[in-house]
């Protein structure tokens, strides 16, 4: 199943091209069969034309459904799958590995990579990092996540949270576009509503996947969720 999801992301454009080409031929055959059926005079001729129309129409509908399924999977399903789904081997641990899961996916994260900021894990300044909230910061209610994603062949990203010391990550949101809110070093990645969480220590992580399906080492930042201050 992992190979299927990686293939859907990697070969998304070729799949659309093949489906589009097939749809053109199917549409042409459907139109031709309809014209033959419409112009047919004799019963047998009309029946044969109608059978051709049904077959070509079914093929056209099938191709359109496959294309829609591909779009829905890549756009709405794959970004919300657990990051481990995209790892090339099941033995790689996203939380413990200090290097990218595939070296070829992000050559900028190789030898000489800046050390993660104090209190963080896997974060690379200027490449994959959460700038806000800061490590150990107390947050409540809704908080804005800011940071940097600057890698070759960017595919999409998602950010998740888990209780401190746990590996049960829950996806907050995901996206495939980075829109600078102020300047390239201070981008708004999204928001996290903590109002429903039990106060305590948590960790948030930024997971970045390139357009080949390779997962980079997540940037993990510990935070503390506190109860909102009562309004007088």
Backbone angles phi, psi at 173, to 5 degrees: -165, 170
Q: Which of 80, 111, 135 is the last residue of a domain?
A: 80
Do 113 and 212 fall into the same domain? yes
Instruction: For residue 12, give the DSSP letter.
Output: H
Contacts of 84 (CB under 8 A, 6+ apart): 90, 94
Mean pLDDT (the chain) is: 76
pLDDT for position 104: 35
Do 123 and 170 fall into the same domain? yes
Do 177 and 213 fall into the same domain? yes
Tell me the residue range of the domain where 128 lies: 85-225
Task: Give pTM, 2 decimals.
Answer: 0.51
Q: For the residues 87-103, what does the mean pLDDT come to?
A: 39
Do 32 and 74 fall into the same domain? yes
On whether residue 232 sits in a domain, the answer given is no
pLDDT digits (tens, 9 = 90+) for 184-194: 566 788 888 89
- How many domains in the chain? 2
Do 14 and 35 fall into the same domain? yes
Structure tokens at 123: 């974060």
Handedness of CA 6, 9, 14, 20 (dihedral sign): positive
pLDDT digits (tens, 9 = 90+) for 29-78: 888 888 887 787 777 777 887 888 888 888 889 888 888 887 777 676 66
Q: Which of 80, 95, 112 is the last residue of a domain?
A: 80
CATH number of domain containing 198: 2.60.40.10
Backbone angles phi, psi at 167, to 5 degrees: -115, 15
On whether residue 230 sits in a domain, the answer given is no
Three-state DSSP at 22 gives: helix
On whether residue 127 sits in a domain, the answer given is yes
Instruction: Provide the residue count of the chain.
Output: 232
Q: Which of 80, 102, 118 is the last residue of a domain?
A: 80
What's the burial of 134, exposed, middle or buried (CB within 10 Å: 0-12/13-18/19+)? Answer: middle
On whether residue 170 sits in a domain, the answer given is yes
Of 214, 223, 2, nearest to 109 by C-alpha is: 214
């Amino acid at each position: 199943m992992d190979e299927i999801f990686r293939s859907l992301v990697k070969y998304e454009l070729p799949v659309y091209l093949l489906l589009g080409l097939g749809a053109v031929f199917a549409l042409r055959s459907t139109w031709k069969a309809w014209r033959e059926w419409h112009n047919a005079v004799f019963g047998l001729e009309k029946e044969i034309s109608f059978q051709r129309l049904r077959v070509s129409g079914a093929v056209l509908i099938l191709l359109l459904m496959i294309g829609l399924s591909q779009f829905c999977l890549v756009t709405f399903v794959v970004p919300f799958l657990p990051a481990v789904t995209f790892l090339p081997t099941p033995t790689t641990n996203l939380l413990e590995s200090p290097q990218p899961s595939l070296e070829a996916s992000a050559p900028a994260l190789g030898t000489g990579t800046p050390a993660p900021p104090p209190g963080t894990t896997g974060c690379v300044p200027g490449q994959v990092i959460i700038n806000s909230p800061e490590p150990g910061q107390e947050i409540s209610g809704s908080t804005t996540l800011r940071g940097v994603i600057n890698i070759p062949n960017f595919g999409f990203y998602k950010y998740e949270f888990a209780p401190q010391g746990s590996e049960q990550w829950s996806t907050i949101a995901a996206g495939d576009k980075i829109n600078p809110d102020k300047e390239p070093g201070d981008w708004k990645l999204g928001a996290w509503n903590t109002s429903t969480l039990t106060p305590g220590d948590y960790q948030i992580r930024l997971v970045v996947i390139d357009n080949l399906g390779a997962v980079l080492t997540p940037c993990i930042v510990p935070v503390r969720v506190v109860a909102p201050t009562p309004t007088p």
